[in-house]
Amino acid sequence: MKLKATSPFLGVCLAVLAVAASPAYGKNRAMTAFGAFHVEFNTLSQTHYPTNPYLCLYENNGAVVNHCKYTVDLEFGLPIDTPGTKDIIVQNGWSEIDTGSEVFTCQSFAYTGSEGSSNVGTNIGFTGPTQSLTTTVSVSGGATSIQVLCNVPAGDAVANFNWNP
C-alpha cells in the first residue's frame, strides 16, 4: 500500500522536473545586437550605400558598431513564440566604443511572412549613450517574427535586445 501512496507523488515530481527542464516559454529573451543584425537594402526606396556596409560594421562586446562614414539601416530579427503585445527593450552603445552622436531612432514591426504588409510598432529615439528604450508591437495570430529597424549614424552602436517572445 505504501508503494501506491507514493506513486502519485513520484509522478507529480517527475512532471515538475520535466517542466523545469523544458524551454521557458513566456520568459523574456535576450540577444546581442551583433548576433541578430542584417543590413537593410530596401529596393522599394532604392536605398544604396556608397560602399558595402558589411566592410565597416564591427562587433564590440556584442554591440554592432557603425564604423562607416554614413548612416546604415540595420534590421534585427527576433523570434517569437506566441501572438500578443511584444515589448522590446533596445539598448544603444556606450561612449567608450564609438564616437557618434548617439542620436538615432528604431522601430518595431511584426510580419506574417504570407503577405506584403506588417504591423507597425512604436518608434523610439536615442539621445545619448547607454540608454535602454522600449518599443512595442502587436503580433497577430499569423505573425511568425518581429524585427526592429534602426537607422544607425556613423560612430553609433546598438548593443542589446530583451523581449517577451
| pLDDT confidence tier of residue 42, bands split at 50, 70 and 90 | low
Per residue in 68-99, pLDDT (tens digit) is 999 999 999 999 988 899 999 999 998 656 67
- C-alpha 9/C-alpha 14 separation (Å) is 9
- C-alpha 3/C-alpha 24 separation (Å) is 33
Query: Cα–chain-centroid distance for residue 37?
Result: 9
pLDDT of 8 > 80? The answer is no
Q: pTM of this prediction?
A: 0.78
Handedness of CA 118, 120, 126, 132 (dihedral sign): negative
Return the pLDDT at 6: 52
Return the pLDDT at 3: 52
The CATH architecture that domain 27-163 belongs to is Sandwich (2.60)
